[in-house]
Structure 1
Amino acid sequence: MLKRRLISFDWALKRLLRSKTNFEVLEGFLSELLKEEIQIQEVLESESNKEDRSDKFNRVDLKVKNEQGEILIIEVQYEREFDYLQRILFGTSKVITEHMEEADPYHKVVKVISINILYFDLGHGEDYVYHGTTQFKGLHQNDELRLTDQQKEFFNKNAIADIYPEYYLLKINQFDDKSKDPLDEWIYFLKNGEIKDEFKAKGLKKARKILDVLQLSEGERLAYDSHIEDLRYQASMYHSSFVVGKKEGFVDGELKGEKKGMKGKSIEIAINLLDILDDQTIALKTGLSVEEVAALRNKES
């Protein structure tokens, strides 16, 4: 049986999954990841949601709200960013300020969950799903700071971590393709673009139906193929820049080493000339600056 070709998830976020009729797909993904039923209230547009070929890198920001009014940020990331961890910190901070009125008291700070689907290597670690929260540990007793009963009632939160942003990092390429639970079925799809017949995770049945490439119009299919070609080009450019950069770094290191060796020889010659020539003449003979020669003279005297 031939494998059905499905649209990549990032492209679907841009083109198909914004429609309320297709919210079931994203709700299923979020419910399986967060282990609770999620109901999308709205999709908030982002400046990074570009659709043309001039979009040098591919990034999609999707914000939704759950039934408790919490804001979830989904970022589908294909680009390579060395400072990606700092970027998601900046992103969550920005979301918090965007959803605060100037006169709002601090207890109105909205809860943010940042969900990052990563198609590039980020840090060292053996797992493929990471969850980050904020905790306060005692330096002497090693105990965890907890909310008082009064704070729990006032903030409607059970723990301090429930107030601060949470981060989920899904390292898609690190998944071993062995699906052990519904979330793994989603990650398998995100990695391979395939939904197996036996998969039962929430949202995947609907995804398989609406993400079939054969269901696209001719114009949409051409746009999608162009998008995939762009991704291949970006991956190739990244690999090329890495290899070239490594090679240039090696050559640059050799040149710097040679330059350092030559300067060391000049210094040695200059020291031997200190007793018979003035600083300016030594500088002309060795290529050192007058200041460098003067410093050598002071050091040797």
Structure 2
Amino acid sequence: MGKKLIRFDWAMKTLLRDKSNFDVLEGFLGALLEDDNMQILSILESETNQKDENDKFIRVDLLLQDSQNRKIYIEILNTSEWNYLASLLYPPSKIILEKQALENDFSDISKIISISILYFNLGTGDDYLYYGTTNFRGINTGNPLVIRKQVEIPSVFEPKYKLVEKQIFPEYYLITVERYKNVIQKKIDEWIYIFKNNEVAEGSTSKNIDQAELKLAEINMDEAERKRYEKFLINVARDRDVINTARVEGIVEGEKIGMEKGKQQTFEKIAKQMKADNEPIEKIIKFTGLTKEQVEELG
């Protein structure tokens, strides 16, 4: 068994916001996007990047450059079941528009990516890693809408321009940690193994995963950090118990309602037959427990 690591969601709230630890995030993103030359340019702090250890919503916004020198905006979410869908539906592109008005760095964004690390099962799929995007197709032709932007080509004499394709609609990656079966098939699996087990799988070779093992080790925490982390773990366990309890109570209540409905339908069927046999209404009420109004409404 390897070193015990802190949970990755806690690391995102704390250590991984430090520039000296960007290599860990670069390793994870490089494995997911299959590009080992990812470079984080900056972490973007905003009102939505919350700090309180009681939060159930952890988010890091990054400006990144890939091996093709493209600037990519990436949003990484670690969140609870309670508020996940609401956070996913808040469009990352809206944040880009807000930033673009203030900072030139955002004027040449090539791609927007939203990555969700989920510690619960969303839906009924049979995979642990999902990809999705937004596409617009012509209703009449079925052909995709291609967005292009005019860009200037450097020229000695006079400016020249060309149209280049822009990917302005967000791409989505969903990682459902609980569905992962601890089988390493590709580089990203080595990181998902960390998310699920809080340790590095034996034989892992993904870029910078050795730095994750070094920098995220529990043993590195001082006493104050450990107390904050333990409080965070207690909150995570409590929230999960609340969700599980709500599920059980919902199932029991659903079964109870179903049984009552079935019993009601049985008595209504009996009452209909008794009415067809011209039995007195008083007898039907006494035998089925239905009210006079309910019996009279039956066909």
Q: Smaller-chain TM-score range?
A: 0.7 to 0.9
Q: Which residue of 1 is the match for residue 156 of structure 2?
A: none
The answer to whether structure 1 residue 96 and structure 2 residue 96 are counterparts is: yes
Contact residue 175 and residue 187 of structure 1 kept, 8 A: yes
Q: Measured at CA, do residues 150 and 21 of structure 1 come closer, stay the same or move farther in structure 2, by a change above 3 Å?
A: closer
SS class of match (2:74): strand
Q: Which residue of 2 is the match for residue 198 of structure 1?
A: 203
Give the deviation of 1:212 after TM superposition.
0.8
Hey, what's the Cα distance between the residues in 1 that align with 2:95 and 2:149?
A: 28
Q: Measured at CA, do residues 157 and 177 of structure 1 come closer, stay the same or move farther in structure 2, by a change above 3 Å?
A: farther
Give the partner amino acid of 1:18: R
Partner deviation per Cα, 1:37-80 (whole Å, 9 max, x = no partner): 32222232444524244x4xx22111000133432100012x11
Contact residue 133 and residue 166 of structure 1 kept, 8 A: yes
Q: Which residue of 1 is the match for residue 120 of structure 2?
A: 120
The answer to whether structure 1 residue 59 and structure 2 residue 57 are counterparts is: yes
Q: Which residue of 2 is the match for residue 241 of structure 1?
A: 246
Q: Which residue of 2 is the match for residue 279 of structure 1?
A: none
Contact residue 73 and residue 109 of structure 2 kept, 8 A: no
Contact residue 100 and residue 109 of structure 1 kept, 8 A: no
The answer to whether structure 1 residue 226 and structure 2 residue 231 are counterparts is: yes
Contact residue 43 and residue 62 of structure 1 kept, 8 A: yes
Q: Which residue of 1 is the match for residue 50 of structure 2?
A: 49
The answer to whether structure 1 residue 17 and structure 2 residue 16 are counterparts is: yes
1:139-218 residue pairs with structure 2 within 5 A? 139=139, 142-146=142-146, 157-158=164-165, 162-218=167-223
Give the partner amino acid of 1:220: E
The answer to whether structure 1 residue 74 and structure 2 residue 76 are counterparts is: yes
Identity rate, percent:
31
Q: Measured at CA, do residues 258 and 211 of structure 1 come closer, stay the same or move farther in structure 2, by a change above 3 Å?
A: same
Hey, what's the Cα distance between the residues in 1 that align with 2:268 and 2:93?
A: 50
Contact residue 99 and residue 110 of structure 1 kept, 8 A: no
Give the partner amino acid of 1:136: F
Partner deviation per Cα, 1:231-265 (whole Å, 9 max, x = no partner): 22222222121111110122233345556777899
SS class of match (1:231): helix
Q: Measured at CA, do residues 92 and 268 of structure 1 come closer, stay the same or move farther in structure 2, by a change above 3 Å?
A: farther
Q: Measured at CA, do residues 218 and 86 of structure 1 come closer, stay the same or move farther in structure 2, by a change above 3 Å?
A: closer
Contact residue 24 and residue 203 of structure 1 kept, 8 A: yes
Consecutive unaligned residues of structure 2, counting only runs of 5 or more, are 154-160, 276-290
Give the partner amino acid of 1:60: I
Give the partner amino acid of 2:73: I
Q: Measured at CA, do residues 135 and 72 of structure 1 come closer, stay the same or move farther in structure 2, by a change above 3 Å?
A: same
Hey, what's the Cα distance between the residues in 2 that align with 1:118 and 1:199?
A: 22
Partner deviation per Cα, 1:68-116 (whole Å, 9 max, x = no partner): 3432100012x114x84453132424323422439x9xx9888421111
Hey, what's the Cα distance between the residues in 2 that align with 1:231 and 1:149?
A: 45
Q: TM-score, normalised by structure 1?
A: 0.74
Greater shift, 240-249 or 147-156, is seen at 147-156
Partner deviation per Cα, 1:249-283 (whole Å, 9 max, x = no partner): 2223334555677789999999xxxxxxxxxxxxx
Greater shift, 43-52 or 195-204, is seen at 43-52
Greater shift, 140-149 or 118-127, is seen at 140-149
Q: Measured at CA, do residues 178 and 91 of structure 1 come closer, stay the same or move farther in structure 2, by a change above 3 Å?
A: same
Give the deviation of 1:27 after TM superposition.
1.4
Q: TM-score, normalised by structure 2?
A: 0.74
SS class of match (1:65): strand
RMSD: 3.8
Hey, what's the Cα distance between the residues in 1 that align with 2:131 and 2:162?
A: 23
Q: Measured at CA, do residues 212 and 188 of structure 1 come closer, stay the same or move farther in structure 2, by a change above 3 Å?
A: same
